[in-house]
A = this chain, B = another copy of it.
């Protein structure tokens, strides 16, 4: 197996436990670079993330960083994936607990997503703010980005299986919209299409609400947003049929 392939397999997380000392050092340094970048992200923002500052912090020369990340954008991509994974992790672990009612699971996931966003506002902005200029999010980010909506889908699907989804009158999607809803239908077997559509609506609402809170759009109306957020999460649970 070639060195390059090994490196790819390891970087993508397919393989773990680097074998040679060099690979071990590389893994460690890659992690340290990302950690320093994340630390820098906390104080400044994404667009003022400086490779030179990172290299200074790690006591190396800036050009050496390019052995680990071919460009600033690649480093940002790595941070993006890590952020999606951290957020997905938070949502999943909130959903894994036991709840007497799916509504509470739903509300808990909402709260977990918000808490993570408030604790890591710059990382949140990195993934849900404006896309970084001239940089197309690679396909690698799609799967980790889907973790939060997957958690919501699972709650809904499980609620349906347990008979928590009563009949709610909601318009049946038609035409192309029905097709689009059908592409996600296999992920939540049994859930009626109107409720799947509403789940997408709720999903966009969730992140719109968090973005508004973090980006200061709620100042003057719903800030601080704790009560607003809690009440909204309950209403949205009902909106998608959980009651």
Contact = CB atoms under 8 A, between A and B. Distances in A.
A53 B76 CA distance: 25
B47 A231 contact: no
Copies of this chain present in the complex amount to 2
A137 interface: yes
A131 to B, nearest CB: 5
B133 A177 contact: no
Interface stretch (A16-24, A30-38, A197-205): A197-205
Interface residues of A, number: 54
A235 interface: yes
B205 A212 contact: no
Nearest to A125: B130
Interface string A155-191: 0000000000000001101011100100110000000
Contact of A216 (B47, B131, B175, B207): B131
A48 B207 CA distance: 26
A142 to B, nearest CB: 7
Contacts of A239: 239
12 contacts: A46-B130, A129-B215, A130-B215, A142-B219, A170-B235, A180-B222, A200-B228, A201-B205, A201-B209, A201-B235, A204-B212, A208-B208
